[in-house]
Structures are given as C-alpha cells and as structure tokens.
C-alpha cells in the first residue's frame, strides 16, 4: 500500500513570501517561480521512479516469499518553506542551486516493513539496481540515536529525463518496521505537537519504550525464522 502526501506548489502562495524565491537577485520573479516549479516537478519524478522500483520489487518478492516485505509506503516532497528554513539553519546560500547541492531529502519515501530482516533485504535488492547509486547510509537500527530512534536511512541517486535532458536526482529513503514507525510517530507528536517542550522530562521512559519494542521485535523475528525453517 502506498500513501501519497501530495505537494501542490501554488504560484500565488509562493510569491507572497520573498524568502521562498531562493534568489538574492529577485529581479525576475516569474522566472524564479517557474524554476522553482520545475525543480519540484523533477524531484517528484525521481520520487515516483523510486516508488515504482520498490513496488515492483515487492510484487516480485511476493511470489518468492511467504509474506509481503513492505507493509506500506509513504512519500512526500519537502515544501519550499521547509527547504528555505533548512538553508537558513545551516547558513547556506538561499538559491535553488544551493538546495539541489546541499539538501538531500527534498524527495522522501518512508518504507514500513513487518520485520527487521526485511529492511536489509529491501536495501540489498534496491542497491542491486544498476540505475540506483548510494550516496549516503546511516543505520540507526544497529546504532540507535540517543533518544531511542531506530531506522535505516538511505540517500540514493536516480537518473531522471525531463524535456530531453537527463539529471541525477537524490531521494531519501527511511526504512523501518511497524514498531519503529509507531514509536517514531508518537515520539514526534509528543515532542513537537502537544507538550510545550516538557517531553524531556520523559526521555528515559521513551528510551525504555523503544528498547522494549526492539526486544519484542527480536522475539517476533526469532519466531518467524523458526516457523520458516520447519
């Protein structure tokens, strides 16, 4: 199952904020807005390409396995406001070219699996694709973040052809299990949505929950491996 968070770039909305134009020279507003729209469309195309590869992989493995590797996928394109804030945060030039060179999660896909082993199977199969180039890998499953967060982050690059020109576009993929996704979603909600910064008081509890879920996953993985071995 693929869930799309569709990003719509509305020219009137974008033009209301000068910062979103990403250019120090804003003499030609309409041209800048058009380049922004084309850039977003390019990243959308890359995202759809990777989703297609993952979907076909899941279909293929469905016939060779006793279960589906992918429980569901979510995808999103980072909003121009978020891109602008990230450039500002890291004191990077406020330009579209700077965004392309320095921000690797403009296009993002979250792949949620049933078991931890499935994550590494998907990674292996995806990187066997000759059109996929690995740019960055961070394994927060084997080495969780201090707050308990677990996930495998990959930044890959895929070729995209638009208007007769081929470009290499990065896409970030986060692979996690249902349990990891459950924890990360609730932790994010507690941290940013409704506690007024008081979540730090419960850091130890949240880490304990993450560790408990990880131990449960190990048991479930063991049971599955034993059943498959019968």
Q: What is the mean pLDDT of the segment spanning 202-218?
A: 94
Instruction: Name residues whose C-beta falls within 8 Å of residue 62's C-beta, 6 or more positions apart in sequence.
Output: 68
Number of domains in the chain: 1
pLDDT score of 68: 81
Span between the terminal Cα atoms of the chain, in Å: 30
Domain boundaries, position 165: 2-178
* Domain contains 58: yes
C-alpha angle 227-229-230 in degrees, rounded to nearest 5: 70
Tell me whether residue 220 is in a domain.
Answer: no
pLDDT in tens, 1-25: 555 454 444 444 444 444 554 555 5
β strands within the chain, DSSP E: 2-5, 70-77, 107-113, 133-139, 152-162, 165-177
Flag whether 201 is in a domain.
no
Look at 38 and 199; give whichever has higher pLDDT: 38
Answer with the residue of higher pLDDT: 225 or 219.
219
Phi and psi at 106, nearest 5°, equal -60, -40
Q: Is residue 54 part of a domain?
A: yes
Q: Which of 19-28, 58-67, 80-89, 132-141 has the lowest mean pLDDT?
A: 19-28
Q: Is residue 62 part of a domain?
A: yes
Reported as a pLDDT band with limits 50, 70 and 90, residue 189 is: confident
More confident residue, 110 or 201: 110
192 has pLDDT over 50: yes
Residue 218 forms part of a structural domain:
no
CATH number at residue 51: 3.30.460.10
- The answer to whether residue 185 sits within a structural domain is no
């Amino acid at each position: 199952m693929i869930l799309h968070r569709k990003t719509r770039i509305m020219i009137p909305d974008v033009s209301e904020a000068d910062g979103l134009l990403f250019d120090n020279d804003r003499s030609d507003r309409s041209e800048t807005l058009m380049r922004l729209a084309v850039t977003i469309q390019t990243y959308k195309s890359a995202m759809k390409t990777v989703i297609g590869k993952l979907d076909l992989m899941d279909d293929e493995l469905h016939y060779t396995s006793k279960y589906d590797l992918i429980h569901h996928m979510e995808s999103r394109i980072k909003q121009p406001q978020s891109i602008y804030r990230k450039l500002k945060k890291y004191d990077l030039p406020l330009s579209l070219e700077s965004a392309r060179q320095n921000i690797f999660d403009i296009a993002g896909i979250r792949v949620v699996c049933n078991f931890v082993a499935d994550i590494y199977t998907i990674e292996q199969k995806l990187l066997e694709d000759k059109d996929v180039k690995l740019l960055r890998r961070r394994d927060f499953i084997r080495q969780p973040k201090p707050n308990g967060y677990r996930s495998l982050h990959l930044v890959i690059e895929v070729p995209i052809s638009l208007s007769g020109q081929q470009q290499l576009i990065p896409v970030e993929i986060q692979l996690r299990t249902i349990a990891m996704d459950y924890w990360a979603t609730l932790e994010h909600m507690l941290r940013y949505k409704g506690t007024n910064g008081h979540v730090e008081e419960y850091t130890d509890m949240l880490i304990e929950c993450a560790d408990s879920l990880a131990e449960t996953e190990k048991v479930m993985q063991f049971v599955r491996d034993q059943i498959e071995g019968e």
